[in-house]
Amino acid sequence: MSNRNTELPSCSSNVVHEEIVARVNEEMPREESLYDLAELFKVFGDTTRVKILYALFAAEMCVCDIAALLNMSQSAISHQLRVLKQARLVKFRRQGKVVYYSLDDDHVKQIFDQGLTHINELA
Amino acid sequence: MSNRNTELPSCSSNVVHEEIVARVNEEMPREESLYDLAELFKVFGDTTRVKILYALFAAEMCVCDIAALLNMSQSAISHQLRVLKQARLVKFRRQGKVVYYSLDDDHVKQIFDQGLTHINELA
DNA sequence: TGTTCATATGAATAAATGTTCATATATAAT
DNA sequence: ATTATATATGAACATTTATTCATATGAACA
């Protein structure tokens, strides 16, 4: 994912609508926000992680429970929980040997619901 | 702790909280919805595509404009527009040699705004 | 102490993905 | 027709990523 900064564009510039490009450029959010946004959605862009988050919408669960629910290995779940943890989407508490995970964010559900709305309207 | 041994996965099942797993399993959306949702977010999970969509929030634009705006090759933009087209997030119209792209969805902006809200509250 | 068990993690592997390069397609103009 | 130009697309390449396997960590308990 490299972004070289060469100078002018690829098309011959009499086709580029300079005013529009300039105006849109003004209205674009900061580069960093766009990057962070893509990073957030990247976390949501995996079936396993989506399933884990939906599971945690319903209840706090231990790693073992989640693995059982999704019929996947403990290791796979643990790796993905780490991703969710790093994105600050889940939190956890330890109780003896067992680690319980739960949601650490209020927006996820809303974002997912919006996404489902979009999907359902396509169908 | 009484426990049947179903032949579920990885951890020894006396730790799995069967009732919780069963209940959560009931509440999970259909497998297909979860898959589609992840696919949708996968589309949002790339900086270039996020930028393109934000650009189209502001105005209808031709491929050349977008390439100029983002300082990227026409080919790269065209490839990504194809992904957005397949996800039915953008539509286009042809006018002579120029193809103009615009948004084909009302939810994207809302989803993105939710995402930005999330990000900003982390900061 | 040593054992057991739930979870975490590093390394390896396979699969997916974004960009570039070269080229094809489609439209307009000469 | 021929040329020019805006866009699309296939192949190649590099990079990222999800899972597995083996093993480490950390807590309870005999």
From the list A71, A97, A107, the residue facing B9 with the nearest CB is: A71
The pLDDT of residue A95 is: 95
Mean pLDDT on B12-17:
65
Chain A residues in contact with B35 (beta carbon < 8 A)? 47
Alpha-helical (H) ranges within chain B are 18-27, 31-44, 47-58, 63-70, 74-86, 107-122
State the nearest residue by CA to the C1' of C18: A1
- Where exactly does CATH 1.10.10.10 map onto chain B? 46-122
Between the alpha carbon of residue A87 and those of residues A40, A113, B55, B86, B89, the distances in Å are: 7, 19, 26, 28, 26
State the nearest residue by CA to the C1' of C27: B97
The pLDDT of residue A123 is: 80
Burial class (CB in 10 A: 0-12, 13-18, 19+), A120: exposed
Mean pLDDT on A96-112:
94
Q: Is B1's pLDDT higher than 50?
A: no
- CATH, domain range A39-122: 1.10.10.10
More confidently predicted of A27 and B123: A27
**Mean pLDDT, chain A, as a whole number?**
89
Shortest Cα distance, chain B CAs vs residue A54, angstroms: 7
pLDDT digits (tens, 9 = 90+) for B42-84: 999 999 999 999 999 999 999 999 999 999 999 999 999 999 9
The pLDDT of residue A9 is: 38
Q: Is A22 on the interface with B (CB under 8 A)?
A: no
The conformational region for residue B96 under phi > 0 = left, psi -120 to 50 = alpha, else beta, is left
pLDDT band of B11, cuts 50, 70, 90: low
Chain A residues in contact with B46 (beta carbon < 8 A)? 38, 42
For the CA of B8 and the C1' of C17, the distance in angstroms is: 34
The pLDDT of residue B123 is: 79
Q: Is B37 on the interface with A (CB under 8 A)?
A: yes
The answer to which of A95-104, B10-19, B63-72 has the lowest mean pLDDT is: B10-19
pLDDT digits (tens, 9 = 90+) for A57-77: 999 999 999 999 999 999 999
The pLDDT of residue A14 is: 52
Q: Do A72 and B40 touch (CB under 8 A)?
A: no
The pLDDT of residue B106 is: 85
The pLDDT of residue B121 is: 87
Architecture of the domain whose range is B46-122: Orthogonal Bundle (1.10)
Q: Is B8's pLDDT higher than 60?
A: no
The pLDDT of residue B100 is: 97
Q: Is A102 on the interface with B (CB under 8 A)?
A: no
pLDDT digits (tens, 9 = 90+) for A8-30: 334 665 557 899 999 999 999 99
More confidently predicted of A49 and A106: A49
Q: Is A96 on the interface with B (CB under 8 A)?
A: no
**Structure token digits, residue B20:** 């919780």
State the nearest residue by CA to the C1' of D23: A75
Q: Is A49 on the interface with B (CB under 8 A)?
A: yes
